[in-house]
A and B are shown apart, each in its own frame.
Chain A
Amino acid sequence: MFRRLHEGATPLPFTFEGEAVEGREGDSVAAALLALGHDATRETGVSGAPRGPYCMMGVCFDCLVMIDGVGNRQACLVPLRAGMEVRRQRGRRKAGA
């Protein structure tokens, strides 16, 4: 888990795997998921192994999730918005999906 040193920011409701959860204004999607205790946010296409955000700067692509039905989104780069529907990405990314 990650803990917030400062609780000032506005709460933002969103869903992860269909469950209603909350992040904060200023979170990336990955930061919000890590603050909620979700270290595993995708399954790899080759072996199905669980993975989670590793670099938090757009390099490793281990943070790929589905956001509002669109796959391959880099959770560490996408700012969290209220109402987002976020899901784990399972398997190989599909071109253009």
Chain B
Amino acid sequence: MKRLSDVASLREGYDLAIIGAGPAGMAAAATAGGRGLSVLLLDENPGLGGQVHRGVEASPLAAVPALANVPGAGRALAQAAARAEVEFLPGATVWHLDAARRIGVSAGGAARMVVARRVIIATGALERPMPIPGWTLPGVMSVGAAQTLLKAQGLVPEGRVVMAGSGPLLWLYAAQLVAAGHPPALLLDTTPRANWRAALPHLWDFLRSPYAAKGAGLLARVRRGVRVVSGVASLAIRAAPGGLEVAWPGGTARADRVLLHQGVVPQTNLAQAAGCELAWDKAQACFVPRTDGWGETNLPGIAIAGDTAGIAGAEAAEASGHVAALAALHALGALDGAARDAAAAPHQAARARWRRGRAFLDALYLPAPGFRVAPDEAIACRCEEVTGAALREAVRLGATGPNQAKAFLRCGMGPCQGRMCMLTVVETIVAARGVAPGTIKPLRIRPPVKPVTLAEIAAMDSTEAERAAVEGR
């Protein structure tokens, strides 16, 4: 791997560009390198790893015996990617992608456009928003955020920590805090009890999947060390003297920090901006790009690997990265069909093995509608401070989906470009209208998908194509 330090050292064109260096992107790089093709790997983080293996190359946890296994898990894959013959530009934010596979990237305050014959989008997932009253208060953050601080900087929250929500990551982080000797004071489990009925038919597959052993140990370790309140049906956070107060039906608790989580959903904004088609996934209650078994989208030459193509977890992401890279090698003439199929078979089998347990997790941890729809007094769009009440008012005035709500209320126009609020806005609107989420269009995303400064654009030796891309033409 050749590590680049700035956009000036990028070539104008590559055979293959991989966006995102999590398990999917690292696996794609490891498979695609060394075949005589030019391969570029981009990630806005300072190193390899993605969300699950964040900071794998230089984790302070390597020196913390109780947690040394956390960075350990991603090391072999990171080393395979680091050995691969590819170019890697870390600290690089991709803010543009279009159907012609032009990629707008900025790093270190300078922007650049490159073109690729094939693109693999491996931008991973983000945490599902949890729009409860008070979730914007300082001191409230997501569980994934706290876990990122643990993996990358070895930081643990001090004082009374209250965790609330549902999903595997909530339990995983709680177990990591227990192992670190800093258990949370309280865990409020919002998993709806009624979900068990929907999950049970998938229990057998779950028990046969590698997830079962992982999960059971986690839950037991947390329950031994932490007070857990189950079946929490609603939540609100208030600022209180000297900290925060969390309230739920039947109790209140003081907190110095509140950590929220209710699962992860695909991070699709770049794929959407390029023109990839999305469909509503009922089981995961989110929009998912349409892809085939090789990760190919409706756009020629653009594939998606990893959690961006639907949440399936780190191991499945890794497998799908290999598969997408093999498809790209074949399309670029570096591998014949038989060789591609033979090389892909073990990865496809691994992906299937890991996906097998997912249906149970999806059904069990689907958050209750009350946690996906913004209540009147809760903020739905954090950037423009739009509340659930304002959204319902917009529906009353005729807004039928997120694109109209944006025109009424600016939600989706802030710097996050709807990444945080889109699902909340969609689910709040469909609940108010009494229609199914699949019937309305997701927010239209236009490049740049992340703010680019005028200085960055000015510094670009811009061609007409570049100017058109920046202006979203």
Q: Which residues of A contact B (CB under 8 A)?
A: 1-6, 8-9, 24, 26-28, 31, 34-35, 39-40, 44, 46-47, 49-62, 64, 70, 72, 76-77, 79, 93, 95-97
Which of these, B142, B152, B267, B451, contacts A26 with CB under 8 Å?
B152
Give min CB distance, B277 to chain A, whole Å: 22
**A–B pairs, 7, beta carbons within 8 Å:** A1-B159, A5-B60, A57-B51, A57-B145, A58-B93, A61-B383, A64-B415
The stretch from B3-11, B132-140, B462-470 touching chain A is B132-140
The answer to whether A54 and B140 have CB atoms under 8 Å apart is: yes
Q: CA of A51 to CA of B138 in the docked complex: distance in angstroms? A: 5
The answer to whether A72 and B44 have CB atoms under 8 Å apart is: no
The answer to whether B154 and A53 have CB atoms under 8 Å apart is: no
The answer to whether B141 and A54 have CB atoms under 8 Å apart is: yes
Which of these, A39, A49, A59, A62, contacts B126 with CB under 8 Å?
A59
Which of these, B144, B155, B157, B414, contacts A61 with CB under 8 Å?
B414
Give min CB distance, A44 to chain B, whole Å: 6
Q: B419 — which chain A residues lie within 8 A by C-beta?
A: 59-60
Q: Which residues of B contact A (CB under 8 A)?
A: 44-46, 51, 55, 58, 60-61, 63-64, 67, 91, 93, 126-127, 136, 138-142, 144-146, 148-150, 152-159, 180, 182, 256, 267, 382-385, 414-416, 419-420, 450-451, 453-455
Question: Do A52 and B139 form a contact, CB below 8 Å, given A60-B416, A93-B415?
Answer: yes
Q: CA of A60 to CA of B385 in the docked complex: distance in angstroms? A: 12
Q: B58 — which chain A residues lie within 8 A by C-beta?
A: 26
Q: CA of A65 to CA of B142 in the docked complex: distance in angstroms? A: 19
The answer to whether B44 and A56 have CB atoms under 8 Å apart is: no
Give min CB distance, A95 to chain B, whole Å: 7
The answer to whether B127 and A8 have CB atoms under 8 Å apart is: no
The answer to whether A35 and B155 have CB atoms under 8 Å apart is: yes
The answer to whether B153 and A24 have CB atoms under 8 Å apart is: yes
Residue of A nearest to B60 (CB): A6
Q: B93 — which chain A residues lie within 8 A by C-beta?
A: 58, 77
Q: A64 — which chain B residues lie within 8 A by C-beta?
A: 415
Q: B126 — which chain A residues lie within 8 A by C-beta?
A: 55, 57, 59
Q: CA of A77 to CA of B149 in the docked complex: distance in angstroms? A: 12
Which of these, A28, A57, A95, contacts B454 with CB under 8 Å?
A95
Q: CA of A27 to CA of B155 in the docked complex: distance in angstroms? A: 10
The answer to whether A79 and B46 have CB atoms under 8 Å apart is: yes
Residue of B nearest to A41 (CB): B138
The answer to whether B64 and A40 have CB atoms under 8 Å apart is: no
The answer to whether A44 and B148 have CB atoms under 8 Å apart is: no
Sample of 7 further A-B pairs with CB below 8 A, known A4-B154, A8-B60: A1-B159, A3-B155, A5-B64, A34-B149, A49-B136, A55-B144, A57-B145
Most buried by B among A4, A61, A76: A61
Give min CB distance, A92 to chain B, whole Å: 9
Q: CA of A39 to CA of B243 in the docked complex: distance in angstroms? A: 11
The answer to whether A5 and B180 have CB atoms under 8 Å apart is: yes
Give min CB distance, A21 to chain B, whole Å: 15
Q: A61 — which chain B residues lie within 8 A by C-beta?
A: 383, 414-416
Question: Do A54 and B142 form a contact, CB below 8 Å, given A1-B159, A3-B158?
Answer: yes
Which of these, A8, A26, A53, contacts B145 with CB under 8 Å?
A53
